[in-house]
Amino acid sequence: MTHTTVGIDVGSGALRAVEVAHSGSSRSGGTRPTLLRYHELALPAGAVSSGEVIEPNTVAAALKQLWAEAGFSTRSVVLGMGNQRVLARDLSVPKMSLKRIRSALPLQVQDMLPVPVNEALLDFYPISETTTENGPMVNGLLIAAVKVAVLGNVRAAELAGLTTREVDLIPFALSRSLVSRPGLTGTVCAIDIGAKTTTVVIAVHGVPHFVRIIPTGGDDLTQALRSGLEMDAGTAENLKRQVGLATVNALAGPGSWSAAPAGTDAAGIIADVIGEQLVSLRNTINYFANTRPKDPVRQIILTGGASQLPGLSAALADMTGIAVGAGDPFASVIMPSGSEAVLGDGSSRFAVALGLALGSAA
């Protein structure tokens, strides 16, 4: 039996959606899902902030337009959440059924939450089991999201006539589309740099073990150029893509790249802002390495619209000492003839939406 699902990535500047068909055998690891359709549509400024719907009616109208233009065959959708209103933390609990673990979460995690437990949606993602002096334990990730933020996105989809089948964590979606596929083994870090949020997920043999959501992205650089050089947003966007980062001296060895001193020219502003973001990413990866020394990160996969900044990939590789490659989310699905040519270098923009759609088969 085949069913189709559309994953929707609600970004600050655009909606992106991907429809895939799952056959009955794909759930058990047989036939790969098939890409059916994909489309993106720009959003008016202010309609969405860091993935959270601010203007439900505006977003609903855009979703209706997206469906009309793309011709999606189903109104069953999976939404993603992944901003500062979502928390992912390590948690170990006594071994029991997943249903019982989830039901006990409100009593166990209040001290870990930034809001009252009745204002949050909670879930638990099991990773491994261990035996301690207190008995068998299940180690995993606590997932907590501010309820009003999630329901706002669901409401926008509802106003557009869509049925939200699931709300999934964006880092898990990235793991599915970029990491959990043949050919990638060991410990891999996927980094998605969006307009306002950078998502980091580290997976060991395809299983997510670590998640961090950093509240910076490509818009920080655009705003810095706008204020520093007194220009409009469109000019700043074009300038950052033209200038990019200074060339990394590959012969100088790992860690040789550093941000130039802050200056009033475009190159200095870009190096200063990106330098801070790279330090944050390096510290995040180092934190994982320090807490899990047996699972060193062997590869970084870089994706997202803001990851296309010239020189960024080389600078990240130099600062971390880890090989950095571009993500190919569609490697895990069967592609219609000609789709690769149409997507081109823009395929990474759909990594989240594809991962959300793929999750409906799990």
Model pLDDT for residues 73-107, shown as the tens digit of each residue? 999 999 999 888 898 999 999 999 999 999 999 98
Helix, strand or coil, per DSSP, at residue 225: helix
> Domain 3-84+147-181+332-358: which topology?
Nucleotidyltransferase; domain 5 (3.30.420)
Predicted model pTM: 0.86
Task: Report the candidate in 53, 4, 33, 3 with the shortest Cα–Cα distance to residue 15.
Answer: 53
CB-based contact 69:15 (threshold 8 Å): no
What is the model's pLDDT at position 306?
87
Q: How would residue 308 be classed by pLDDT, with cut points 50, 70 and 90?
A: confident
Report the Cα–Cα distance between both ends of the chain, in Å, rounded: 15
What confidence tens digit (pLDDT) does each residue in 121-171 have?
999 999 999 998 889 999 999 999 999 999 999 999 999 999 999 999 999
CA–CA gap between residue 51 and residue 309 (Å, rounded) = 21
- Least-confidence region, from 34-48, 295-309, 329-343: 329-343
Helix residue ranges per DSSP H, the chain: 56-70, 98-108, 147-159, 170-174, 218-229, 233-243, 266-291, 312-320, 339-343, 351-359
**Mean pLDDT estimate for the chain:** 87
- Say which amino acid occupies 187: T
CA–CA gap between residue 231 and residue 79 (Å, rounded) = 35
Domains 86-145 and 184-330 share a fold: no
Helix axes 233-243, 218-229, angle to 10 degrees: 110
What is the model's pLDDT at position 344?
58
CA–CA gap between residue 231 and residue 227 (Å, rounded) = 7
CB-based contact 190:281 (threshold 8 Å): no
Q: How would residue 61 be classed by pLDDT, with cut points 50, 70 and 90?
A: very high
> Domain map of the chain by residue range?
3-84+147-181+332-358, 86-145, 184-330
Cβ-based neighbour number of residue 321 at 10 Å: 12
The yes-or-no verdict on residue 254 having pLDDT over 70 is no
Q: CA-based angle 236:239:245, to the nearest 5?
A: 120
Cα dihedral 28, 29, 31, 33 sign: positive
Copy the structure tokens of residue 45: 């400024």
Copy the structure tokens of residue 196: 């306002």
CATH code linked to domain 86-145:
3.30.1490.300
What is the model's pLDDT at position 327?
78
CATH code linked to domain 184-330:
3.30.420.40
